[in-house]
Structure 1
Amino acid sequence: MKKFMNTAETMVAESVEGFVRAHEAFVVFGAERKCIRRRHLTSGKVALISGGGAGHEPMHIGFVGQGMLDAACVGHIFTSPTPSQIMAAIEEADTGAGCLLVVKNYDGDLMNFEMAIEMAGDRHSLDMIVVSDDIETSRTGEGRGRRGVAGTLIIEKILGAAAERGMPLAELKQLGEGLNTRIRSMGVALNGVTVPQTERTTFALGPDEMEMGVGIHGEPGHARQPFAAADAIIMRLCETIIADIAVTPGARALLFVNGLGGTPPAELYLAYSGARRFIEGKAIPIERSLVGTYVTSLDMQGLSITLALLTDEEITLWDAPVATAALRWP
Structure 2
Amino acid sequence: MKKVLNAPDRAVEEMLRGMELAHGGRNGNDGESGLIRRLSGQTVAVRADAPVSGKVAIVSGGGSGHEPAHAGYVGPGMLDAACAGEVFTSPSPEPVLEATKAVDGGAGVFYVVKNYTGDVLNFEMAGELAGTEDIETDYVVINDDVAVEDSTHTTGRRGVAGTVLVHKICGGAADDGKSLPEIKSLAARVNENVRSMGMALTSCVPPERGEPIFDIAEDEMELGIGIHGEPGTERRKIEPADSIVDMLLEKVLGDSVDYSGSGGQDVAVMVNGMGGTPLMELYVAYARVHDVLAENGINVHGAPYVGEYMTSLEMAGFSVTLLKLDDEMKRYLAAPCSVAAGGLF
- Per the shorter chain, which TM-score range? over 0.9
Q: How does 1:15-94 map to 2 (within 5 A)?
A: 15-24=15-24, 25-41=34-50, 42-94=52-104
Alignment correspondent of 2:258? 246
1:142 deviates by: 8.0
Q: Give every structure 1 segment of 4 or more consecutive aligned residues whose post-TM-superposition deviation is greater than 4 Å.
A: 139-142
CA–CA distance in 2 between the matches of 1:280 and 1:65? 35
Q: Could you tell me which runs of 5 or more consecutive residues in structure 2 were left unpaired when the two chains were aligned.
A: 25-33
Q: Which amino acid aligns with 1:93?
A: V
**Residue by residue, what CA displacement relative to the aligned partner does 1:114-150 show, whole Å, maximum 9, x if unpaired?**
1111111122010011111011121769831111100
Q: How does 1:133-212 map to 2 (within 5 A)?
A: 133-138=144-149, 143-212=154-223
- Distance 1:60-1:142 versus aligned 2 partners, 3 A rule: closer
- 2:149 counterpart SS class: helix
Q: Which amino acid aligns with 2:188?
A: E
State which of 127, 135, 138 in structure 2 corresponds to 1:117.
127
Give percent identity, aligned residues only.
43
Q: Contact between 1:251 and 1:311, CA under 8 Å: does it hold in 2?
A: no
- 1:56 counterpart SS class: coil
Matched, 1:275 2:289: yes
State which of 311, 320, 325 in structure 2 corresponds to 1:305.
320
Q: Which amino acid aligns with 1:40?
A: D
Q: How does 1:304-323 map to 2 (within 5 A)?
A: 304-323=319-338
Q: Which amino acid aligns with 1:19?
A: M
- Distance 1:35-1:258 versus aligned 2 partners, 3 A rule: same
- 2:8 counterpart SS class: coil
Q: Could you tell me which runs of 5 or more consecutive residues in structure 1 were left unpaired when the two chains were aligned.
A: none
Aligned residue pairs total 330
CA–CA distance in 1 between the matches of 2:308 and 2:343? 14
CA–CA distance in 2 between the matches of 1:93 and 1:261? 30
CA–CA distance in 2 between the matches of 1:100 and 1:207? 43
Deviates more, 1:139-148 or 1:262-271: 139-148
Alignment correspondent of 1:100? 110
- 2:41 counterpart SS class: helix
CA–CA distance in 2 between the matches of 1:80 and 1:163? 25
Q: Contact between 1:82 and 1:112, CA under 8 Å: does it hold in 2?
A: yes
- Distance 1:184-1:48 versus aligned 2 partners, 3 A rule: same
Q: Contact between 2:117 and 2:153, CA under 8 Å: does it hold in 1?
A: no
- 2:292 counterpart SS class: helix
CA–CA distance in 2 between the matches of 1:73 and 1:59? 10
CA–CA distance in 2 between the matches of 1:223 and 1:72? 33
Q: Contact between 1:68 and 1:160, CA under 8 Å: does it hold in 2?
A: yes
CA–CA distance in 2 between the matches of 1:107 and 1:139? 11
Q: Contact between 2:63 and 2:89, CA under 8 Å: does it hold in 1?
A: yes
Q: Contact between 1:49 and 1:100, CA under 8 Å: does it hold in 2?
A: yes
Matched, 1:258 2:272: yes
Q: From the two aligned structures, give the one with the greater strand fraction.
A: 1
- 1:51 counterpart SS class: strand
Deviates more, 1:194-203 or 1:29-38: 29-38
**Residue by residue, what CA displacement relative to the aligned partner does 1:38-62 show, whole Å, maximum 9, x if unpaired?**
0013210000000001100000100
CA–CA distance in 2 between the matches of 1:221 and 1:267? 20
Q: CA RMSD in A?
A: 1.4
Q: Contact between 2:202 and 2:221, CA under 8 Å: does it hold in 1?
A: yes
- 2:280 counterpart SS class: helix
CA–CA distance in 1 between the matches of 2:22 and 2:153? 40
- 2:141 counterpart SS class: strand
